[in-house]
Amino acid sequence: MTTKDSQFAKGDTLTLTIDALATGGKALTRLDCMVIFMDRGLPGQTVEVKITKKKKRFAEAVLTKVITDAPDQISPRCAHFGVCGGCLWQNMEYSKQLAWKKRFVSDSLSRIAGAQDLEINDPIPSPETFYYRNKMEFAFGDRRGDITVGLRRYGTHNVVDLQECYLQTERTIEIIDLVREFVNATPALTAYDANSRRGYLRFLVIRETKHTNQCMVQVITAKDTTNNDQQHRAIRQLGQLLQERMNVTTFIHSLRTHTTQVAYGEKTYVVLGQKSLTEVLNFEKDMPSLSLSSHADGFFQVNTNAAARLYETAVEMAELTGTEKIWDLYCGVGGIALTAAPRAADVFGMEITEQAIASAKENATINGIENVRFVSGDVRSALTNEPSMPDVVFVDPPRSGMNPEVVDLIMEQTPKRIIYVSCDPATQARDIAVLGNQYTVTTVQPVDMFPQTAHIENIIRLDLKAE
């Protein structure tokens, strides 16, 4: 069936030319009055797709073959590109990546928030477009009896046995190579299979600092089912080997019994080194450097140098004078709160994770900042019980956005300014639609934290409307 045929059904194969990209990175084209969304691809490519869903006004498809490249397509750097699900835009020039991300922000605010004719600033580019990540999560797999280590194959749960990767550092692949060699030479070790729920090795998490030369390796496993804890003892030996040969400063072994495939352990043991890493954020503007400590399971922006741009931009957009009382909701380990503190009178940070709040308090001490308070717990409860009245509120919620009750509680406090940081323009726009009843969007500033992917961080400033 060709693009001239409008009567197609689920399961049909079509040949299409991609017209544009949708928020989140899906490709799309229009066939008569029908929009067809494809799971990937670039504008200008002629592709073969298989229809997986058809509704009244749109259809969904998976790309099965690229027939003709896009006119401005570039050669991807990584040999695993197209197979690995780690990054989908290595074949797009970086300036065009930024242009599409700006369009995603604009489309979300227009379509979801109803905010028309907003001026969207050009995205602040990442200082590095490769080797920028400070953390990556890898999975263990099995290929005909050999244990593989890598990222998920695109669209599946199978593991691509990585031989190269340009997202974290060159040392990352060296660590993966050493881990792969060790686990395959140790008979007691097996890869976990999610279908049978058998096996031992589940995830390998590598964290590195950009400015303090620290490296944390975390191996997440299932329970040891061998006699005399042979598997657990082998993991401790792996940690010692990594310390000796790769200068790993912290090695952690975590146990995960839940069957959900998430790189998080219910129990965590520090086998070697310190329990946390400390990174330094160097700001471009007139701000002192900030040291931030984070535990193994604590949240920290994965792009260290871009995080510095993000935090300083958010604080600058707030136009603080030194007299403001600030709330920082979903504060994590305190990055924004501690960046803003030297320019404010009082800062109150809230986060649901106790470990993150412990890190935030530690970070305040490390940096000698005294005008901050951090509280752990559900943000809704914390706001209800908080007596202070904020002048400025920073929010940096998870990808799902803010709970509607939190949005209502913020508006009840009527801060004069809200700085909303988000990694998902769509859920951010949903919340902006509600906040727009009392606030006016005055600045929209995307910040690229994730080169080679369709993800974009976005900062929006909202000012309280006049009575």
CATH of the domain at 59: 2.40.50.140
CA 203/CA 328 separation, integer angstroms: 32
- Spatial separation of the C-alpha atoms in residues 269 and 275, rounded to whole Å: 9
346 is known to lie in a ligand binding site: no
| Domain stops at, among 260, 276, 292 | 276
**Domain for residue 8, yes or no?**
no
What does 351-370 look like in DSSP terms, one character per residue? ES-HHHHHHHHHHHHHTT--
pLDDT tens by residue, 384-426: 888 888 999 999 999 999 999 999 999 999 999 999 999 999 9
Q: How many CB atoms lie within 10 A of CB 55?
A: 9
Over the stretch 89-117, which tens digit does the pLDDT of each residue have?
Answer: 999 999 999 999 999 999 999 999 998 88
Residue at 281 is within a domain: no
pLDDT over 90 at 322, yes or no: yes
Write phi, then psi, for 32 (nearest 5 degrees): 55, -120
For the chain, what is the domain count? 3
pLDDT of residue 117: 85
DSSP conformational letter for 398: -
Distance between CA atoms of residues 418 and 410, nearest Å: 9
Predicted pLDDT of residue 381? 80
- C-alpha to C-alpha distance for 116 and 118, rounded to whole angstroms: 6
What count of Cα atoms within 13 Å lies in the side-chain half-sphere of residue 164? 8
Q: Is residue 327 part of a domain?
A: yes
Whole-number pLDDT of residue 1: 42
Contact 108, 455 (CB under 8 A): no
Amino acid letter, residue 457: E
| CATH number, domain containing residue 105 | 3.40.50.150
Nearest-angstrom CA–CA distance, 74 and 320: 43
Please give the Cα distance from 197 to 4 (Å, whole number): 47
Mean pLDDT confidence for 7-15: 92
| 2 — pLDDT class (breaks 50, 70, 90) | very low
Q: Which of 84, 165, 215, 423 is catalytic?
A: 423
- Does the residue 115 lie in any domain? yes
- Tens digit of pLDDT for each residue in 145-188? 999 999 999 888 899 999 999 999 999 999 999 999 999 999 99
Q: Identify the DSSP state of 198.
A: B
Question: DSSP secondary-structure letter at 81?
Answer: B
Residues 121 and 163 reside in one and the same domain: no
Specify if 140 maps to a domain: yes
Q: How many residues does the chain have?
A: 467
Q: Which of 269, 198, 186, 177 is nearest to 234 (CA)?
A: 186
**Distance between CA atoms of 87 and 89, rounded to whole angstroms?**
6
Q: What is the pLDDT of residue 6?
A: 60
Residues 113 and 141 reside in one and the same domain: no
pLDDT at residue 77 greater than cutoff 50: yes
* pLDDT higher than 90, residue 287: no
Beta strands 146-152 and 159-161 are: antiparallel
Within a domain: residue 315?
A: yes
Does residue 201 register a pLDDT over 50?
yes
Determine the structural domain holding residue 371 and report its residue range.
101-128+303-464
What letters, b where the CB count within 10 A reaches 16 and e where it falls short, cover 360-373? bbbbbeebebeebe
Do residues 346 and 389 both lie within one domain? yes
pLDDT tens-digit series, residues 437-446: 999 999 999 9
Q: Is the pLDDT of residue 220 over 80?
A: yes
Q: Do 312 and 284 contact (CB within 8 A), yes or no?
A: yes
Residues 344 and 204 in one domain: no
Instruction: Reduce the secondary structure of 216-281 to three states and give it as a string.
Output: EEEEEECCCCCHHHHHHHHHHHHHHHHHHHHCCCEEEEEECCCCCCCCCCCEEEEEEECCEEEEEE
Q: Quick one: tokens of 242?
A: 């990594």
pLDDT the model gives residue 5: 47
- Position 4 pLDDT exceeds 60: no
Same domain (yes/no): 61, 185: no
Given a cut of 50, whether residue 311 has pLDDT beyond it is yes
**pLDDT confidence band for 121 (50 / 70 / 90):** very high
DSSP for residue 377: S
The rounded distance, in Å, linking the Cα atoms of 218 and 202 is 11
Question: Judging by DSSP bridges, how do beta strands 392-395 and 417-422 pair with one another?
Answer: parallel
Is 452 annotated among the ligand-binding residues? no
Lowest mean pLDDT among 266-275, 293-302, 405-414: 293-302
**Residue 318 domain-assigned (yes or no):** yes
Residues 327 and 377 in one domain: yes
The CATH code of the domain that includes 258 is: 2.40.50.1070
Q: What number is the average pLDDT over the span 351-364?
A: 93
Confirm or deny that 351 is annotated as ligand binding.
yes
287 within domain boundaries: no
Answer yes or no: is 73 a known binding residue. no
**441 and 372 belong to one structural domain:** yes
Examine the residue annotation and report whether 87 is marked as an active-site residue of this protein: no
Asked if residue 209 and residue 176 are part of one domain, the reply reads yes
Residue 301: exposure state from Cβ atoms within 10 A (0-12, 13-18, ≥19) = buried
> Are both 60 and 166 inside the same structural domain?
no
Contact 458, 428 (CB under 8 A): yes
Same domain (yes/no): 457, 308: yes
Which residues pair with residue 375 across a beta bridge? 350
Same domain for 231 and 271? yes
Residue 28 in this model has a pLDDT that exceeds 80:
yes
Say which residue, 44 or 286, is predicted with more confidence. Answer: 44
Q: Does residue 139 share a domain with residue 121? A: no
How far is 141 from 196, CA to CA, in rounded Å? 13
Strand, helix or coil at 181? helix
Q: Which two tokens stand for residue 426?
A: 């769509």
CA distance 299 to 363: 14
